[in-house]
């Protein structure tokens, strides 16, 4: 598949919104923004929702002086799902993708997103792109996040053990419109988006690693599976109930 060199996406076609949630991410943010912005076209945007950082996160973001980078005030809830939801609500693009504050995008990532999503932007479609796992210093520790998680589509598979990782996801606006608002107490927003795509549209896993997924002491998520049966059952029951309710709402809206 043809990919660009990461030095500027073409201006034509659908507008892409990169939605980033930040909180005290100044340490790695400059490298991440520097890997994203050169890949965006003139009409694209990067919406950064900051949840009241107390470090230099905002100063780092503002130092780029890029009009495509929009900073919005976060929900002040110390919640990754709510902070991402806030960024997504401010996004204007036809295509959307999520970004963590501490990763690094590899050249060609935006080109691949456009290639796979532009023709399907009118439908409910979600794309999951593979990533390399790195340590704090950026050294690759696993060449494939998908292989590490045994990632792939499947409703029951991902209800049991989610393999939809937020920073790997890109999707169409119709899927976002179905997903919002994020229900309270769902396990994670990425799981919600992935399962809605499986139920009402299509979900595609592309085994091309175009992201360095940085693991360090400050990460909000881990690879470890919690063994808390009661909590897990409650979360899955709440997720299933919300999926059923949202599906019913969609069915009524379509009739």
Dihedral sign from CA coordinates of 162, 164, 166, 172: negative
Please give the tally of structural domains in the chain. Answer: 1
Residue 94 lies in a domain: yes
Computed over every residue of the chain, the mean pLDDT equals 91
Residue 6 lies in a domain: no
pLDDT of residue 220: 55
pLDDT: is 159 or 11 the higher one?
159
CA gap 232, 45 in Å, rounded: 37
For residue 229, name the pLDDT band (cuts at 50, 70, 90).
confident
* Host domain of residue 136: 16-254
Residue 1 lies in a domain: no
pLDDT of residue 218: 60
Q: Residue 132: which region, alpha, beta or left (left: phi > 0; alpha: psi -120 to 50)? A: beta
List the end-to-end C-alpha distance of the chain, in Å, as a whole number: 39
pLDDT of residue 227: 55
The answer to whether the CB of 219 falls within 8 A of the CB of 135 is no
Residue 223 lies in a domain: yes
At 190-221, the pLDDT tens digits run: 999 999 999 999 999 999 999 999 997 665 56
Of 191, 148, 197, nearest to 176 by C-alpha is: 197
pLDDT of residue 2: 35
CATH assignment of the domain containing 159: 3.90.550.10
pLDDT tops 80 at residue 252: yes
Residue 2 lies in a domain: no
Residue 7 lies in a domain: no
pLDDT tops 60 at residue 255: yes
Residue 5 lies in a domain: no
At 77-123, the pLDDT tens digits run: 889 999 999 999 999 999 999 999 999 999 999 999 999 999 999 99
Mean pLDDT calculated for residue range 178-198: 95
pLDDT of residue 224: 56
Residue 238 lies in a domain: yes
pLDDT tops 60 at residue 25: yes
């Amino acid at each position: 598949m043809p990919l660009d060199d990461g030095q500027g996406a073409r201006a034509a076609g659908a507008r892409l919104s990169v939605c980033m949630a930040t909180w005290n991410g100044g340490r790695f943010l400059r490298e991440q923004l520097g890997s994203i912005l050169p890949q965006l076209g003139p009409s694209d945007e990067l919406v950064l929702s900051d949840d009241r950082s107390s470090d230099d996160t905002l100063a780092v973001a503002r130092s780029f002086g890029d009009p495509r980078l929009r900073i919005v005030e976060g929900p002040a809830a110390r919640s990754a799902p709510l902070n991402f939801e806030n960024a997504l609500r401010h996004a204007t693009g036809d295509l959307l993708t999520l970004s963590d504050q501490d990763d690094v995008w590899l050249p060609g990532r935006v080109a691949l997103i456009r290639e796979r999503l532009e023709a399907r932007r009118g439908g409910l479609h979600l794309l999951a792109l593979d990533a390399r796992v790195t340590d704090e210093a950026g050294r690759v520790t696993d060449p494939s996040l998908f292989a590490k998680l045994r990632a792939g589509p499947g409703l029951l598979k991902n209800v049991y053990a989610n393999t939809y990782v937020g920073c790997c996801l890109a999707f169409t606006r119709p899927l976002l419109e179905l997903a919002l608002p994020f229900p309270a107490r769902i396990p994670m927003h990425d799981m919600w988006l992935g399962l809605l795509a499986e139920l009402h549209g299509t979900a595609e896993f592309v085994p091309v690693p175009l992201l360095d997924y940085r693991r360090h002491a400050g990460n909000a998520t881990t690879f470890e599976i919690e063994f808390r049966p009661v909590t897990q059952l409650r979360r899955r029951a709440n997720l299933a109930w919300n999926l059923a309710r949202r599906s019913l709402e969609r069915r009524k809206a379509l009739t």
